[in-house]
Amino acid sequence: MDLVKRLEEYRDRERELMWEGTFAEYFEIACKQPAVARLSHERIYHMIIDAGVDTTRTGETRYKFFSDEIFGIEKPLQQIVDYFHSAAQRLEVRKRILLLMGPVGGGKSTIVQLIKRGLEAYSRTPEGAIYAIKDCPMHEEPLHLIPYELRGDVEKEFGIYIEGDLCPHCRYMVDNQYRGRIEEVPLKRITFSEKYRIGVGTFTPSDPKSQDISELVGGIDLSTIGEVGVESDPRAYRFDGELNIANRGVMEFVEMLKTDEKFLYVLLTLSQEQNIKTGRFSMIYADEVVVSHTNEHEYQAFVGNKKSEALQDRIILVKVPYNLRVSDEVKIYEKLLKQSALQNVHIAPYTLRIASIFALLTRLEPSKKAGMSLMKKLKLYDGEDMEDFKQKDVRELQDEAVREGMDGISPRYVINRLSNALIKNNVTYISPIDALRALRDGLDQHTSITREERERYLNFISEARKEYDEIAKKEVQRAFVYSYEESARTMLNNYLDNVESYCNKTKLRDPITDEEMEPDEHLMRSIEEQIGVSENAKRSFREEILIRISSLARKGMTFDYTSHERLKEAIEKKLFADLRDVVKITTSTRTPDKEQLRKINEVIERLVAEQGYTYESANELLRYTGSLLNR
């Protein structure tokens, strides 16, 4: 990389963003590109949509703007996008504060950070270009220069909607410096930046005795009073409060409900009237999105306070629970670990999955449905079908659970414990057992759980351990199958030949003797029994397989052992059952002979090459599985 060249290119791009001109020039731009005059909610909505939209296999809408950072909370994200969509149409909802409420570590702050960082990047693109009156402390929309008497005609002829009024600083400049000649007022293109306090503001509550309201709305600059004479002169005021500088963008109100009441009163007029009252000035128009976040306890106290009813009525609440899908929880941990410097420590396969299973078990609510355990519910939520339950049951389970995802172990706790295991001396890898041990040991240090919760969480660690035991046995058994795909294909073809003969009431021919023979019922049942297909259900199951083969053939596709999920599971289980004794003897022998050693080395090579293990983690897996099979 040629750094000097890249720096030159960077400076060239920055110069392109430094357009300056007059209002007359800007109005021509606005006529050709009305999007430059969008209001704040509409700008954020288009920023999200312009990033791209996908639909998941379950029919949920997934927004690419969030998809690399936020996982498993599609419903809250959809509610947030719906809020911006309605507000973009200039409906009444835009005059509401967006409040994200949920447990710690659930992603509330990350969502707000994404919107803030996204706005900064979007304002640097041609689609998100934004212009302001030069030297205006509130980065004023230039169209505010147009007198109210002319705005109706402008909208009628050019289709440009204008809302709001000039701030006192710009009004003084237009009246005194330009004598009302608005076409000559200088403008410039701006890019949002929290660092430079342009269009992105953040307010954090602190000690109400020492924190001043000027942090929100600005204040009098005493050093200029002698020069300008009176405090009501715009030149004597610093429009540098967070609500001022966030004009046309977004203002994050960190933990809004922890703030002193006097700060919340400002939000009443801002949310409903879109105005800020500052000292000795009239109302100052502000177009900005106010978004905040809080936890459930603070929110319940806020709702119970009758004094805050006016503000409650101006809030749009979005609940942001913990993620409830194992596959998405794994993505969260992968993202957080990728940001660390511990790239030389190997994380064995299924380590993050087993940690995720434990975390999700603590977040799920027990179901009243007969036979529905938490583990079954967890797998259903993750897209797996169970014997007695299918994906169609998921919606009913979700409706049944009132507060699911609002309690339990946070991703922050899990990543803290994994980090603790990763940094130990001489650690080259961590396994699922290491992860469960670290999670268990950390429960004693967890400050917010009761003794009863600790006992319950220990039971969930045992549940996650049982799940890993089954996975470990399958991993080793799969690695023991020589030419696994070929073995599965051979078994499938034998099964399908017999099923076709059975369903069509024909006979098979022996490939060696050429004799006719009946379908091998023993072979078919030995496979079907692996997944619990009863004697009464065997015909319908076999006919279902033939229908699937016919359906794929019409589409020009070939049926293989992975084409039918239940048949795939049955063939895998049958292969593993046939190999169980071989695996047991080989893995549990303390002093393996030459042949057993050869098999072990082959299995380790396959685990490393095909399953993503290192030699050390593969060896541990074999030792662990050997101990399981000998119990």
Task: For residues 339 and 280, state if they share a domain.
Answer: no
DSSP 483-519: THHHHHHHHHHHHHHHHHHHHTT--EE-TTT--EE--
Task: For residues 365 and 286, state if they share a domain.
Answer: no
Task: For residues 451 and 332, state if they share a domain.
Answer: yes
> Span 153-166, mean pLDDT?
93
**Residue-level pLDDT at 483:** 53
191-200, 256-265, 317-326, 328-337: least confidently modelled range? 256-265
Select from 88, 38, 80 the least CA-distant residue to 63. Answer: 80
Asked whether residue 386 is domain-assigned, the answer is yes
Per-residue pLDDT at 484 exceeds 70: no
**Residue-level pLDDT at 342:** 66
Task: For residues 315 and 332, state if they share a domain.
Answer: no
DSSP 560: -
Among the residues of 17-163, which ranges form H helices? 23-32, 40-50, 64-67, 74-88, 108-122, 148-158
Q: Which two tokens stand for residue 479?
A: 């690695």
Q: What is the CATH number of the domain that holds 245?
A: 3.40.50.300
Task: For residues 96 and 197, state if they share a domain.
Answer: yes
pLDDT in tens, 431-447: 999 999 999 999 987 77
Per-residue pLDDT at 275 exceeds 80: yes
Asked whether residue 113 is domain-assigned, the answer is yes
Of 319, 354, 386, the last residue of a domain is 319
Among the residues of 234-350, which ranges form H helices? 242-245, 261-273, 296-303, 309-312, 326-338
Asked whether residue 579 is domain-assigned, the answer is yes
Amino acid at 280: R
Asked whether residue 606 is domain-assigned, the answer is no
Per-residue pLDDT at 377 exceeds 90: yes
Residue 385 three-state SS: coil
Asked whether residue 6 is domain-assigned, the answer is no
Tokens 């704040």 belong to residue: 40
What's the CA dihedral at 79, 82, 83, 84 to 10 degrees?
130
Mention every residue, 6+ apart, whose C-beta is less than 8 A from residue 238.
Answer: 137, 214, 218, 219, 220, 221
Where in the sequence is the domain holding 343, given as residue range(s)? 326-470
Q: Which two tokens stand for residue 150?
A: 């002319």
- Chain Cα centroid distance, residue 49: 16
pLDDT in tens, 98-143: 999 999 889 999 999 999 999 999 999 999 999 999 999 999 999 9
pLDDT in tens, 11-32: 888 888 899 999 999 999 999 9
Asked whether residue 600 is domain-assigned, the answer is no
Task: For residues 246 and 364, state if they share a domain.
Answer: no
Quote the number of domains for the chain: 3
Asked whether residue 118 is domain-assigned, the answer is yes
